[in-house]
Amino acid sequence: MRKTRFTDEQIAGVLAEARAGVATQEVCRKYGISAHTFYSWRKKFGGMAGTELRRLKDLEQMNARLERIVARQAVELQAAQEIIRGKW
């Protein structure tokens, strides 16, 4: 997955600037982003501040890590059950 070139604080700043009354097209042109990117950020991050964005991203990373652990354990459990049943 591609990493963004903007930090959480920068994304929050872009959205705050647009909320302050600057036209969306002007904000997009100033920061070199597409309108689609801007609206995706607005949909995902809405009225969050920079610290809230950072916390959200940390929680998403932790959730992904835990999901990988659970998936690995499920595969190991299934393999152990097949060995116990004698299908190995």
How sure is the predictor about 28, in pLDDT bands with cuts at 50, 70 and 90? very high
Q: Which domain holds residue 30?
A: 8-85
Residue 3 located in a structural domain: no
Cα gap 8→18, rounded to integer Å: 16
Q: Show the tokens assigned to 30.
A: 């100033």
| pLDDT exceeds 80 at position 88 | no
Q: Is 60 exceeded by the pLDDT of residue 74?
A: yes
Q: Is the pLDDT of residue 69 over 70?
A: yes
Q: Look at the chain and report how many structural domains it folds into.
A: 1
The answer as to whether 1 is a domain residue is no
Query: Would you state the pLDDT for residue 66?
Result: 97
At residue 52 the predicted structure's pLDDT band, cuts being 50, 70 and 90, is: confident
> Which residue is it, tokens 């995706």?
40
pLDDT beyond 80 at 50:
no
Cβ-Cβ contacts under 8 Å for 36 (sequence gap 6 or more) = none
In a domain, 2, yes or no: no
51 is a domain residue: yes
Look at residue 39 and tell me if it is in a domain: yes
24 lies in a domain?
yes
Classify 81 as helix, strand or coil. helix
